[in-house]
Structure 1
Amino acid sequence: MGRIVVIGAGMGAMAAAARLGIAGHRVVVYERGETYGGAVGRVEREGFGFDTGAGFLTLPAVWRDLFVKTGKEALEDRVELTQVDPSAQHLFGDGSSALLPNASRAGVVTALDEALGAGAGARWGDFLVRAREAWDRTRRPLLEEPLWPNWDVLADKEPYPAVPHKRLLRTRRASTLAEVGAWELRDARLTALLESHALAYGLDPRTAPASAAVLPYMEHAFGTWYVKGGLRELARAVYERCLARRVEFVFGADVVRVVEKDGRAAGVELADGTAVDADLVVAGTAPGLSGVPARGAGEVQPQHGLPSRLTVLLAVRGARPEGTAHRTIIHAPDREAELAALFGTAPTPPSAPTVTLLRPDDPALVPDAEHEAMVLTATVPAGGAAGYERTVEAMLAAAERAVPGLGERILWREVRTPDDVAAATGAEGGRIPPPALAAGEGRLLHPANSTALPGLFTVGGWSHPGGGLAHAGMSGALVAGLIVEGPGFRGSQ
């Protein structure tokens, strides 16, 4: 068994490290920061606790598989998982609202009919049936298998079975998510519901392929879950699993270069000049690390120009009312203006963004039962720590729609800008990678986990199968499979 260096202690990197450790390899993780978890961060202050990354979990089976495969132990033995029910409350720009149950198609159909009018639920339910077909067609090649050299078969054919749409004597089928909303849902509020799933990942629904329909489907089919104590507890559990598998961690160690010898990866060089030898290297970093080869012609290229997130942490006086929704999405009053600001030629922070408000019912996050810890997030352009004051105030105004009188209850607030995301993840400008999607000429595929340099693999959100907590865990499984089983590895069965 060999010595493996893993660069970075993000969730995907740790998932790979734990699997490689139990396979008998000697694994050492070098992390430039002083803690593990990457984007899954934590802020604690005056008895309040806040997640600074993901606020809930989808596809928990990915992490359940990790714990079973690396120790025959259930994930629930290490963390307390609870279903988020209702899944979300949606406040639309016209003042209407809908409270959607978790993982219940019939319940969602009924809730939408009651909130938006007869027929709205049926249209959304029919959309979910088509989204399931897209999921079934793409699940294995996109998430459970390595990205093979013939990846272009995923780039051309649209897996979403769009409904024929007659327009000006022509019959067309939706090729983008926005067209799915306009032609199949036929309600601005349902369209906002659909597009909010793409926007949460920093995707422009006007250009995202129709296959992005799998994003709301994943949440609907597999539910949304919360980890008691916050999602940081999941990062802690994975870190402790790595330690149990004798994975070593070196914090405050900035890797600046992958060392090549005799045409293959042979180790890494640290910022202080230290050279570390290795038989294999796994890079869990954003694009730009020296020594990681550029993609050649015909290969999937790294994605650029993606946005970031702005997060506002709120310490609030007053008890959390019984029955409060864990998650509320406050939709922008002018969706087109928001998209134009975010994805125009010169992106700017939206003056009135779509805001996600998280209000977890978790005593571990507050000093006592007479306080709340709230988190607001919005998608914003990448780069910088300044220029967000107006957007922060707009986010607070949006939250006031969901929580009347909120402003008077705020004890203090802390703002996390794209610069803070960049500091935590190493991604230029704090850019956040979306999950891989089929079609769209391959624009939303990610580079393969194996690279042009033998002995070097990549893991995490910037490589196959892309961003998101579940996808990071899948990435770790794929890299471990390629190393342990070799290039003939065909993914999980």
Structure 2
Amino acid sequence: MIGAGMGAMAAAARLAVAGHRVTVYERSATYGGAVGSFEREGFVFDTGPALLHLPAVWRDLFLKTGREPLEKCVGLVQVDPASRHLFADGAEVSLPNASRAGIVSALEAALGAGAGERWGEFLGRARDAWDRSRRPLLEEPLWSDWRMLERDPYPAPRQRRLLRSRQASTVAEIGAWELADPRLAALLEGCALGYGLDPRHAPASAALLPYMEQTFGSWYVEGGLRELARAVYERCLARRVEFVFGAEVTAVVERDGRAAGVELADGTAVDADHVVAGADAAGLVGRELWKDGDIRPRQEAGGEPLPGRFTVLLALRGAGSPTAHRSVVHSPDTGAEAAAVFGGRVAELPTVTVLRPDDPRTRPDGGHEAVSVSATVAGHGGSVDWHDKALRERYAEVLIDTAERAFAGETAAGGIRERLLWQEILTPAETGRISPPSLAGPGGRHLHPANTTGLPGLYLVGGLAHPGGGLAHAGMSGALVAGLIVEGPGFRGSQ
């Protein structure tokens, strides 16, 4: 196993239970991949994803790999309200967790007559897209005839546009034509941006992302999401998975036309019946991994790196009184924001997410608060150099200025700057790119490579492979890879 990310560990635990001897080689000093944390002076912050969606994926892993269920290994708390949204016109709304009726009512009350009804109708169509694409996109290996997924499953109603009938084919068109309210459009487009998708071009099938969150809920892991990574790691150890940290794999060994092991940076060669790569494997193999017609890794558009996330970790004095765990301060122009993010520029008015966990495990005592603010930004290494100290500090100020809206009215403790002890800045230069989930739609442009490869015995797992990025998707990829190895090419997914 190459890499100790969440998808790789999910596969490792399942394979070990099935009787395989599994060794994980990880070049860094720890496990979890993007699910990291930062600790200083009693403050604890997630540095990757911070909320859990579709916890059933991880419940299934713990059920299938041992007697202790997930809730016995981590504290899992429903976040309610699921999110608070602040719009450019001054309107705001708090959306309840996993309640379509409650969400519709909240939007109707906050944004005016018809807003909730339109969002409810949109969620109904998004549910149809979910039902049509759930198995091939999440629960089954990617079909060899993946072109069946070129058809967008979102049932967009026909609209009269420029003297002819048209259907929304992108997230932005859904917002403009179906939701018909700039605040509802910002709600949808901001969600797409958070997953690393360009709402101007992302297929309408991306509607299933807010549907998934609002239907199955948002969950917080007590102590931070890093605790889930710890629990999965400990489950692997309990099933006798061996981890070797500080061990960089430099090549996949091929013998008799199939993967037969790995070679490490120190020259050590390790034999294996199967090799599972939780990282980009193309550079580790001395041959082309994909045939004509296969889905290949996502390419950078226009020469610019794929987007990442800019995050500021804030250690605050004083006990805050947050009205929501997650607040989103929406950009007044998501289209302009997306153009900057995907065009290699710094967005002047970004959509900013503020996370304020009311969790004593994340702060030194009740007189302090650990807060993070983040935005999706252009990737590192193209037109934007996130190593630039002046740029980092300037953009941190932009995010803090925007995030102050989420603190308005807290007279007891005050805003961010009055309470700030210190801050830590993380950019795509440190945390890498965002890997979006797989989506059906024209051209298969939003699909990820299959878990099997053109080299027999070599498998791909995690955010760079089917079914794409996201914590739930990583767990699904681990289940798919384990099924393919244990049951062989006839494996068709969970039943």
Q: Compute the TM-score of the two structures, normalised by the length of structure 1.
A: 0.95
Shift of 1:9: 0.2
8 Å Cα contact 1:351/1:390 also seen in 2: no
The whole-number CA distance in structure 2 between the counterparts of 1:293 and 1:370 is 57
Hey, what's the Cα distance between the residues in 2 that align with 1:491 and 1:232?
28
Q: Aligned residue for 1:351?
A: 348
Does the 8 Å CA contact 1:311/1:378 hold for their aligned counterparts?
yes
Q: Aligned to 1:377, what secondary structure does the other structure show?
A: strand
Partner residue of 1:382?
A: 379
Give the match for residue 294 of structure 2: 299
Which amino acid is 1:74 matched to?
P
Deviation at 1:288, TM superposition (A): 4.5
AA paired with 1:409? R
Cα-to-partner distance string for 1:115-174 (whole Å, 9 max, x where unaligned): 11111000000100000000000000000000011011002x110000110012200001
| Superimposed CA distance per residue, residues 192-250 of structure 1 (whole angstroms, 9 cap, x where no aligned partner) | 00111110011101100000000000001100000001000000000000001000000
- Mapped to 2, the partners of 1:333 and 1:393 lie a distance apart of 18
**3-state secondary structure, aligned to 1:162:** coil
Sequence identity, in percent? 67
CA distance in 2, matches of 1:67, 1:49: 25
Alpha-carbon separation, structure 2, partners of 1:68 and 1:99 = 34
Q: Which runs of 5+ in 1 are unaligned?
A: 1-5, 422-429
Mapped partners of 2:442, 2:370: distance in 1: 39
- After superposition, where does 1:11-160 map in structure 2 within 5 Å? 11-155=6-150, 157-160=151-154
**Is the aligned partner of 1:342 residue 2:344?**
no
The farther-off stretch of 347-356 and 364-373 is: 347-356
Shift of 1:320: 2.2
Aligned positions of 1:359-438 closer than 5 A: 359-383=356-380, 384-386=386-388, 387-404=391-408, 405-421=415-431, 430-438=432-440
Aligned to 1:162: 156
Aligned equivalents of 2:402, 2:142: Cα separation in 1: 41
Q: Secondary structure at the match of 1:26?
A: coil
Partner of 1:326: 325
**CA 1:389–1:294 in 2, change beyond 3 Å: closer, same or farther?**
farther
- Alignment check: 8 A CA contact 1:9 1:284 kept: yes
Alignment partner of 1:238 is 2:232? yes
TM-aligned CA deviation for residue 287 of structure 1: 5.3
Secondary structure of the structure 1 residue equivalent to 2:22: strand
Separation in 2 of the partners of 1:72 and 1:320? 39
Q: What is the deviation of 1:388?
A: 3.1
The gaps in structure 2 that reach 5 residues or longer are 301-305, 381-385, 409-414
**C-alpha distance in 2, partners of 1:13/1:289?**
18
Q: Which amino acid aligns with 1:169?
A: L
Query: Which residue of the partner structure matches residue 3 of structure 1?
Result: none
Secondary structure at the aligned position of 1:373 is classed as strand
Tell me the distance in 1 between the aligned counterparts of 2:387 and 2:234: 33
TM-score (norm 2): 0.95
- In structure 2, what is the Cα distance between the partners aligned to 1:87 and 1:158? 28
Residue number in structure 2 paired with 1:257: 251
Find the aligned partners of 2:222 and 2:425 in 1 and give their Cα distance: 23
Could you tell me which of 286, 290, 306 is aligned with 2:284?
A: 290
Q: Which residue matches 1:274?
A: 268
Structure-1 separation of matches of 2:297 and 2:350: 27
* Structure 1 match to 2:411: none
Deviations 1:164-195 (A, max 9, x none): 10012200001111111111000000000011
* Superposition pairs of residues 155-194 of structure 1, within 5 angstroms: 155=150, 157-194=151-188
Shift of 1:385: 2.3
